[in-house]
């Protein structure tokens, strides 16, 4: 289950020369919480590295060390969002693994680990001075300072409000980036995309072939992170309204690639109704794997659908993809959450089951509101389906909460924002209210002008909106709220249910501002 | 603009022998309100039939008579939901027209007419004894007494709760019927469906050809009236939770019919990207007309889409269509509101613009909440789009509001209902709450069993659901609420905005019941 890059890093960490400074640099401020002992009054038992090493499997129990602590994580493995990736550190230190997976460097993760502490690591066996962990994040791309950073390693960021409010096409360097691992650096002359239809039928493509020899298509599509607005559902999550952007993409339709299937029979790819084969239930999935090791799958029907518009993109807003956006190739599954649009794409495979990756099976699924803790999750619950399409969404970009807003002569405030729906549905209205939803007025929608309206059910691009909203006379504070309505007349809920990952947060937005009236002009009788 | 049947009826009414008894029979109890005079103290002016007849056009003004009243409806024509159909009665009596369009026989319509009264019709010119209006509703089908009648002429009814709660496939004779006009009686041996691709290319098909010579397809699809649950949005509307049903349909895919296009060029049907032609914006529409004169259109993309599943159905649940369900042929546009699935289908035409019918342009559009009166409607507002797909929907079928519910030994009540979403989205969860939405629990979904799960995005059929919901100890009254979540994670709003037609009412359902506890069993220590 352990991906190549992680395994290589781990082995390098375990075998190479060891320098604590490098480890501390990789881990940053998290070092301070690593050395906390569990608060207890009796002296803890002490274990040697050899004793820890004897617990490296589910059969023998899984012990790990972190700083001076020894932890028995055997029971936690089944709750671990990363699944049995944790076994890579079984019987030894977590530090090398976590240098790669720095999402663990949070007090929340430490909160899960602390109760599992069973003792102290013998001082002679502690890592100090022993490890040299090459920092997997030492070759990250240069990034524009206007991106709002939500997480540094892996890089997680949002589009700035001033960009959201004004740019229909979000410039690539200002477009939110949400990586799961270090950003790979790929030599595009060497890179090949392999496509596996199953049954031993495979083919690989160079980037040049994909760019120059196959029919090219253009797609107008909004990308939105599954966790956009996550902080409104799960306050401990880092997020805002900016994990979204809109671009035009160029590349090859994945259905055109699938049509290049070499002849052959048997395996997953058996021909069935003119489509690549299938299991008994007839459901097929396209697995997509990036060079960083990230992998998810999407239903093959979305890809085969002539109106599904799934693209293998090499270009964004007329420029080649940047490293942070998946250069040289990424998937683009419009109307689906961004997590399905795999970057640095190196492998596509048709399979009769969903991907078994942790991102498919343990993330990017919608857990019900009563699951409040990692240990409450039942990953085998068949009633917890993966997230593909996203629901109708909008945000008030301007004003922001807490702003002091000066009203115009008309007694109204100016508001701006965006709205978009998944599944190809068009936004038909965005409505605003300053009286808690008792009355509403329409915003003006600023989409793409005709004569290029998308076909019915193929609206993948957001609209920006503007409105002048009257404020009740005399009001000094006002809560502005909005809601979008899409072409299936779905609308945003008054409040969104809790889910522990903060996914698909789309409640009707509310922004409380203070109001100043314009100073009357001089003049008159 | 006036359809053939109406025009024929009107002319027959104007020219034939006249019997007041027939008119009264057709109009029923509405006669009593027809003879009300406007309340005023001065004698009204009196007009002769000849004077009225001089006002029969927008240029001369449009006067009509009803009973003893003369009304100037010139200004009202632009607000009239039926558009300029009203001109058919211009300069003369409304009675023959309204015998066909008996939706007018309501106090609400009279409320619109009364303020337009300008005088009395000269007694010698009144209709008494002059008209014989054949009752266009004198040949309606026999109907099952278990249908819940919402309107008699045209027939409008709902599926009974006991059927909704238990039957995954709604039996045809118990399936809601919503007609717009008298139900035609069609000789299926004579009947031909014509298909017009534009540019002079037409072809017609007999029912036998459609049933026996073309490839047949089966479709599992829920039909839901645009006005299902309308009374919850617009309390004066007649409705409940039963304007919905689920069936399996057999027939010919309309895209297969469209592929039979005769060769030719020019007109609306010019070939463009392999599709029948188009206007500058590239948007095409399929107009569908029934033998009753009802007509609407749907976007052609839905029909051409291999995954759109639009069917020309001749059979329902394995039986030929009954008259009330459109025998011998009806359209079935799954995931769209029922109004798009035209019954008694006689004509299909590809056109570059939407149908101009009143049902397309003046009904089955979603007016905003601030439009509270017919005269507030701006039918030319481009921001009031037609309704095609419907939003995520559910209903609590059992218990009903006001029921006295006996709890089980587990302190819980048994609830049942249905849930469905438009646009091919699947229902992933139905959740119930008895504490106003503070906490929720999942219902069990009873859909079609594998191995026939629909493809991603092609879920046209509802699910039935069941749940045992705990009631807070000691509670004597409880409000049960539910909400459905579909595969795009859209959910039902807490409350639905007003719209004057009561369309697409899909707020999270709430049912208040009284609670009785089970009498404890005898026995024990």
Average pLDDT on B148-157 reads 94
Asked whether the predicted pLDDT for residue A19 surpasses 50, the reply is no
Q: How confident is the model at residue B489 (pLDDT cuts 50, 70, 90)?
A: very high
Q: CB B302 to CB A453 under 8 A?
A: no
- What tens digit of pLDDT does each residue of A52-71 get? 999 999 999 999 999 889 99
- What the block records as the tokens of A486 is 């899409």
Residue B59 lies in a domain: yes
- Residue A133: is its pLDDT beyond 50? yes
pLDDT at B449 over 80: no
Residue B103 confidence class, pLDDT cut points 50, 70, 90: confident
| Chain A contact set for B455 (CB, 8 A) | 282-283, 299, 301
**Same domain for A268 and A318?**
yes
CA distance A77 to A83: 6
**Of A274-288, A377-391, B152-166, minimum mean pLDDT range:** A274-288
For A376-385, A394-403, B309-318, which range has the lowest pLDDT when averaged over its residues? A376-385
- Which residue among B366, B487, B494 places its CB closest to the CB of A493? B494
Sheet of A393-398, strands arranged across: A393-398, A412-420, A463-470, A444-446
Reported as a single tens digit per residue, the pLDDT across A477-486 is 999 999 999 9
Mean pLDDT of A272-292: 70
Please give the pLDDT value at position A13.
33
Look at residues A344, A376, A408 and tell me which one is the last residue of a structural domain: A376
A341, A332 Cβ separation under 8 angstroms: yes
| Range of the structural domain that residue A67 is part of | 4-125
CB contact under 8 A, B307 and A307: yes
Q: What is the pLDDT of residues A134-179, one digit of tens each?
A: 788 989 999 999 999 999 989 999 999 999 999 999 999 999 999 9
Is A385 a domain residue? no
Q: What is the nearest CA distance from B325 to chain A, expressed in angstroms?
A: 25
On the question of pLDDT at B523 being above 80, the answer is no
Residue A474 pLDDT > 50: yes
User: Residues of chain A with pLDDT > 70: what percent?
Assistant: 85
pLDDT at residue A98 in the model:
87
Catalytic: which of B178, B229, B340, B501?
Answer: B178
Q: For residue A277, what pLDDT is reported? A: 47
Q: Are strands A217-224 and A117-121 parallel, antiparallel or unpaired?
A: unpaired
pLDDT tens, residue by residue, B460-469: 999 999 999 9
Q: If you measure CA to CA, which chain A residue comes closest to B393?
A: A490
**Using CA atoms, how far apart are residues A256 and A308, in angstroms rounded to an integer?**
12
Note whether A369 and A402 are same-domain residues. Answer: no
pLDDT of residue B321: 98
Mean pLDDT value across chain B: 86
Q: Judge whether B494 lies within some domain.
A: yes
pLDDT tier at A448 (50, 70, 90 boundaries)? Answer: low
Residues A78 and A224 in one domain: no
Integer Cα distance of A346 and A194 in angstroms: 6
Judge whether B130 lies within some domain: no
Instruction: Locate the chain A residue with the closest alpha carbon to B280.
Output: A451
Q: Which of B103, B125, B147 is the last residue of a domain?
A: B125
Q: Please indicate whether, in this complex, the C-beta atoms of B493 and A489 are within 8 angstroms of each other.
A: no
* CATH number of the domain encompassing residue A503: 2.60.40.650
Chain A closest-CA separation from residue B115 CA (Å): 29
The answer on B398 and B346 residing in a single domain is no
Active-site positions of A read: 80, 104, 178, 225, 364
In-domain check, residue A381: no
Residue A143 lies in a domain: no
- Is B368 in Cβ contact with A457 (below 8 Å)? no
Whether residue B489 and residue A383 make contact (CB cut-off 8 A), yes or no, is no
More confident residue, A97 or B327: B327
- What is the per-residue pLDDT across A32-49, written as a single tens digit (0 to 9) for each? 333 444 444 568 899 999
Q: Would the pLDDT of B229 be above 80?
A: yes
Residue B11's pLDDT band, with cuts at 50, 70 and 90, is very low
Statement to judge: residues A318 and A232 lie in one domain: yes
User: B96 or A366: which carries more pLDDT confidence?
Assistant: A366
Position A123 confidence tier, pLDDT thresholds 50, 70, 90: confident
Q: What are the chain B neighbours of A489 within 8 Å (beta carbons)?
A: 366, 387, 389-391, 504, 506
Residue B172 has pLDDT above 90, yes or no: yes
Domain boundary pick from A90, A125, A160 = A125
- Of A19 and B362, which is predicted with more confidence? B362
Same domain, B292 and B349: yes
The pLDDT of residue A265? 61
Angle formed at CA B15 by CA B12 and CA B21, multiple of 5 degrees: 75
Residue B28 is predicted with a pLDDT of: 37
Total domains, chain A: 3
Q: What is the pLDDT of residue A523?
A: 62
Whose tokens are 């029923």? That residue is B28
Whole-angstrom distance, CA of residue B408 vs CA of residue B518: 6
User: Which two tokens mark A115?
Assistant: 């109760």
Closest CA to A74 of A86, A61, A87: A61
Residue B97: the pLDDT is: 86
Q: In this predicted model, which residue has the larger pLDDT, A21 or B42?
A: B42
- pLDDT (mean) for A484-508: 96
CA B63 – CA A86 distance, rounded (Å): 84
Nearest residue on chain A to B279, alpha-carbon basis? A451
Show residues of chain A in contact with B390, CB under 8 Å: 488-489
Pairwise CA distance, residues B240 & B400, whole Å: 11
Tell me, what's the pLDDT at B143? Answer: 98
The 3-class SS string of A139-174 reads CCCCCCCCCEEEECCCCEEECCHHHHCCCCCCCHHH
Same domain membership, residue A159 and residue A93: no
Residue A81 has what pLDDT?
86
Higher pLDDT, A27 or B81: B81
CATH number of the domain to which A360 belongs: 3.90.420.10
My answer on whether A152 and A44 are in the same domain is no
Do B191 and B305 share a structural domain? yes
A180-220 pLDDT tens trace: 999 999 999 999 999 999 988 999 999 999 999 999 999 99
Beta strands in A32-133 (DSSP E): 46-47, 56-57, 61-66, 69-72, 92-93, 117-121
A469: pLDDT strictly greater than 90 = yes
Considering only CA atoms, which of B130, B86, B137, B136 is closest in space to residue B109?
Answer: B86
Residue B383 has a pLDDT of 75
Give which of B406, B403, B510, B484 is closest to B224, Cα–Cα.
Answer: B484
Hey, what are B414's tokens?
A: 């048994």
* pLDDT of A279 over the 90 cut: no
Please state the rounded mean pLDDT for residues A113-124.
Answer: 92
* Within-domain flag for B215: yes
Q: Is residue B5's pLDDT more than 80?
A: no
Active site residue B364: yes
Q: What is the pLDDT of residue A31?
A: 32
Mean pLDDT, residues B389-412: 96
Q: What is the pLDDT of residue A266?
A: 52
Q: Which residues pair with A396 in a beta bridge?
A: A417
Confidence of residue A100 (pLDDT cuts 50, 70, 90): confident
What is the band of B323 on the pLDDT scale with cuts at 50, 70, 90?
very high
Same-domain status, B36 and B109: yes
CATH number of the structural domain spanning residue A41? 3.10.120.10
Question: What mean pLDDT is predicted for residues B377-390?
Answer: 87
Same domain (yes/no): B182, B299: yes
The Cα A357–Cα A375 span in angstroms is 19
> Binning pLDDT at 50, 70 and 90, where does residue B125 land?
confident
The ipTM of this complex is 0.84
Mean of the pLDDT values across residues B431-452?
83
Residue A444 touches chain B, beta carbons under 8 Å: no
Q: How far apart are CA A362 and CA A405, in angstroms?
A: 43
The reply to whether B103 and B189 lie within a common domain is no
**B-chain residues within 8 Å CB-CB of A281?**
450-451, 453
- Residue B457's pLDDT band, with cuts at 50, 70 and 90, is very high
pLDDT, position A364: 96
Rounded to the nearest 5°, which phi and psi values hold at A244?
A: -160, 150
Range 469-508 of A in CB contact (< 8 A) with B? 487-495, 497, 504, 506
- Cα separation, A371 vs A368, whole angstroms: 6
Identify whether A68 is part of a domain: yes
Say if the Cβ atoms of B299 and A487 lie within 8 Å: no
Nearest residue on chain B to A453, judged by CA atoms?
Answer: B281
Residue that wins the pLDDT comparison between A82 and B119: B119
Contact B489 A366 (CB under 8 A): yes
What phi, psi does A467 have (nearest 5°)?
Answer: -155, 145
> Please, which residues 251-280 of chain B have a Cβ atom closer than 8 Å to chain A?
280
| Interchain contact, B490 vs A392, CB within 8 Å | yes
Whether B494 and A490 lie within 8 Å, measured CB to CB: no
- The yes-or-no verdict on residue A373 having pLDDT over 70 is yes
Q: Is B225 labeled as catalytic in the residue annotation? A: yes
User: CA of B243 to nearest chain A CA: how many angstroms apart?
Assistant: 18
Residue partners of A37: CB distance under 8 A and separation at least 6: A44, A68, A69, A117, A120
pLDDT at B35: 41
Highest mean pLDDT among A74-88, B100-114, B432-446: B432-446
pLDDT digits (tens, 9 = 90+) for B262-296: 887 654 444 444 454 444 446 799 999 999 999 99
Mean pLDDT, rounded, of chain A: 86
pLDDT of residue B120: 94
Which residues of B, range 328-367, sit inside 8 Å of A by Cβ? 366
């Amino acid at each position: 289950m352990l991906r190549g890059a992680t395994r290589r890093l781990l082995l390098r960490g375990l075998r190479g020369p060891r320098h604590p400074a490098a480890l501390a640099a990789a881990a940053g401020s998290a070092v301070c919480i690593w050395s906390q002992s569990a608060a207890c009054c009796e002296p803890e038992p002490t274990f040697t590295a050899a004793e820890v090493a004897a617990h490296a499997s589910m059969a023998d129990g899984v012990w790990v060390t972190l700083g001076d602590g020894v932890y028995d994580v055997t029971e936690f493995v089944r709750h671990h969002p990363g699944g049995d990736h944790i076994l890579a550190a079984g019987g030894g230190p977590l530090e090398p693994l976590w240098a790669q997976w720095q999402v663990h460097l949070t007090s929340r993760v430490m909160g899960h680990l602390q109760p599992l502490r069973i003792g102290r690591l013998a001082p002679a066996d502690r890592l100090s001075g022993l490890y040299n962990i090459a920092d997997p994040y030492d070759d990250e791309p240069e990034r524009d300072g206007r991106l709002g950073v939500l997480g540094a390693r892996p890089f997680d960021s949002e589009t700035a409000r001033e960009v959201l409010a004004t740019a229909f096409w979000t410039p690539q360097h200002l477009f939110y980036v949400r990586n799961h691992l270090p950003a790979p650096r790929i030599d595009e002359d060497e890179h090949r995309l392999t496509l596996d239809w199953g049954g031993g039928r495979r083919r690989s493509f160079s980037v040049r072939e994909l760019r120059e020899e196959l029919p090219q298509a253009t797609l107008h599509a909004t990308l939105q992170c599954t966790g956009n607005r996550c902080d409104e559902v799960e306050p401990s999550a880092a997020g805002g309204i900016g994990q979204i952007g809109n671009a035009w993409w160029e590349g090859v339709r994945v259905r055109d690639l699938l049509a290049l299937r070499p002849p052959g029979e048997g395996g997953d790819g058996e021909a069935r109704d003119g489509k690549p084969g299938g299991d008994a239930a007839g459901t097929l999935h396209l697995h997509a794997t990036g060079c960083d090791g990230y992998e998810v799958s999407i239903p093959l029907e979305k890809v085969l659908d002539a109106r599904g518009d799934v693209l293998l993109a090499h270009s964004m807003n007329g420029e080649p993809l940047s490293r942070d956006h998946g250069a040289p190739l990424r998937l683009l599954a419009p109307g689906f959450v961004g997590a399905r649009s795999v970057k640095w794409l190196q492998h596509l495979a048709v399979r009769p089951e969903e991907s078994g990756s942790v991102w498919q099976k343990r993330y990017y699924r919608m857990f019900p509101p009563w699951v409040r803790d990692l240990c409450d999750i039942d990953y085998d619950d068949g009633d917890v389906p993966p997230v593909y399409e996203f629901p109708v969404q909008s945000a008030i970009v301007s004003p922001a909460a807490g702003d002091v807003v000066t009203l115009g002569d008309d007694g109204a405030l100016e508001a701006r924002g965006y709205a978009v729906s998944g599944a190809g549905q068009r936004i038909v209205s965005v409505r605003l209210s300053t009286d808690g939803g008792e009355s509403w007025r329409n915003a003006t929608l600023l989409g793409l002008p005709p004569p290029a309206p998308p076909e019915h059910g193929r609206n993948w691009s957001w609209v920006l909106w503007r409105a002048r909203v009257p404020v009740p006379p005399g009001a000094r504070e006002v809560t502005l709220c909005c809601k979008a309505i899409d072409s299936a007349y779905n609308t945003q809920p008054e409040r969104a249910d809790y889910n522990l990952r903060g996914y698909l947060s789309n409640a009707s937005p509310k922004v409380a501002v203070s109001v100043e009236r314009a100073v009357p002009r001089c003049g008159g009788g």
